[in-house]
Structure 1
Amino acid sequence: MPAPLHGLLTGLALIVAIGSQNVFVLRQGLRRQHVLAVVVVCTLSDMVLISAGAGGLGLLVEQEPQLVHVVRWAGAAFLVGYALLAARRALRPTGESLETGTVSDRGGGVVRVSLAALALTWLNPHVYLDTVLLLGSVAATHGTGRWAFALGAIAGSALWFSALGFGARGLGGLLSGPRAWRVLDGLVAVTMLVVAVMLLTGG
């Protein structure tokens, strides 16, 4: 599989998983409040984090080529672990759904909304595992093509946040109940397992 497409699929598999950041972007889109600012903040944050992972771990593998096998298996292990978590959420839902109009997410100016988006991104410890460590390790297995992989992952981030924010009116109805999130988690689990297998087989 070409590195950019591999990056796109892997990035989407991680980003699409339900989380407070996704729900926040969707809520802002439903309210049509500073959607562009939120999408830009989330996308640029992912771009910085993914680039840091691809650059740092990629450089390490270039210096120590024998690490590529360790990185490949570590990346696959992370993907399988995340797939199992997504499958568990799909089979045993927590009841989480899209709820608009909560007190904690009431309006605010563009600065306040942008700061909230930054906090939901950078103060979440899982984001560093997802972007820097996991995507960085998978990117490193592509050698000199790691930046093409990173661009694919960044494109996936931009596509997803844009779809959530600007397509919220259409997606809001689809994602308004727990059942939709269960289906989404199921798709995420399958995608992650497929990407893990491809990583191990060099596909």
Structure 2
Amino acid sequence: MLPAVLTGFLSALSLIVAIGAQNAFVLRQGLRREHVLPVVLVCAGADALLVAAGIAGLGALVGDHPVVLRVIRYAGAAFLLVLAVGAARRVARPQQLDPATDGPARRSAVLLTCLALTFLNPHVYLDTVVLLGGLAQQHPAAGGWAFGAGAVAASVVWFTALGFGAGRLQPLFARPRAWQVLDGVVAAVMATLAVLLVVGG
């Protein structure tokens, strides 16, 4: 049972650690120390839901309906472009980059953005539902759910470390220039991912 848990943990960690729109968003919220716990819970909870769905067999259904992923692909690309433009505008206006002067975002808006970044990303279905679900089903009997438990644990550990660990970098981001650089990176990442989603379609 333990090897299945460890396999699930390492498999999921290898997929979620790569830089992406969701990780960039969690990092920014962590640096701002703004609604970090709800964001971490949403990200980890979404992964748990999708992993469970994949183990239960949803992966095969998703694979048989590529049109659904195509719709999600273009919707996700459009949403990422909107976020990229927003980040680029913050770069152009450094006075808005300091959280002390840029008032806190509403929790509902932050969580809606987090949910959109999660569920409008077609790769989350391919990676979490199809790939992890398929790997889990290679383990007999309860081993599949042990694999899933390991995958969910990896998600919890990663997003907790990213969200709350980012706060340690806050002294570095006391200067607006640092926020300008971060938002420039975020804008570039999100715009690139949006283009890749469209080209990959």
TM-score (norm 2): 0.61
Deviations 1:106-128 (A, max 9, x none): 74111110001000000001100
- Match for residue 51 of structure 2? 50
Q: How large is the Cα RMSD of the aligned pairs?
A: 3.1
- Which residue number in structure 2 is paired with residue 75 of structure 1? none
Match status 1:26 vs 2:27: yes
Structure 1 counterpart SS, 2:19: coil
CA contact (8 A) 2:12 2:155 kept: yes
Give 1:168's aligned residue. 166
Deviations along 1:130-178, one digit per CA (max 9) or x if unpaired, are 10000001101012100000000000000000000011133677xx999
Alignment partner for residue 146 of structure 1, among 144, 147, 168?
144
Tell me how far 1:54 sits from its aligned partner.
Answer: 1.0
Instruction: Give the aligned residue type for 1:148.
Output: A
CA distance in 2, matches of 1:12, 1:124: 18
Q: What is the identity, as a one-letter code, of the residue corresponding to 1:22?
A: N
| Structure 1 residues not aligned, in runs of 5+ | 61-98, 182-203
Q: 1:49-88 counterparts in 2 under 5 A? A: 49-56=50-57
Asked whether the equivalents of residues 136 and 145 of structure 2 are also in contact (C-alpha less than 8 Å), the reply is yes
1:1-203 map, 5 Å? 2-56=3-57, 107-144=104-141, 145-170=143-168
Task: State percent identity of aligned pairs.
Answer: 55
User: TM-score normalized by structure 1?
Assistant: 0.61
How many corresponding residue pairs?
A: 138
2:6 partner amino acid: L
CA deviation map 1:4-49 (0-9, x unaligned): 0000000000010110000100100000000001000001100000
Alpha-carbon spacing, 1:122–1:57, altered in 2? closer, same or farther (3 Å): closer
Q: Is the 8 A contact 1:57 1:140 kept in 2?
A: no
Structure 2 portions without partners, runs of 5+: 61-87, 173-178, 186-201
- Stretches (4+) displaced over 6 A: 103-106
Q: Which amino acid aligns with 1:135?
A: L
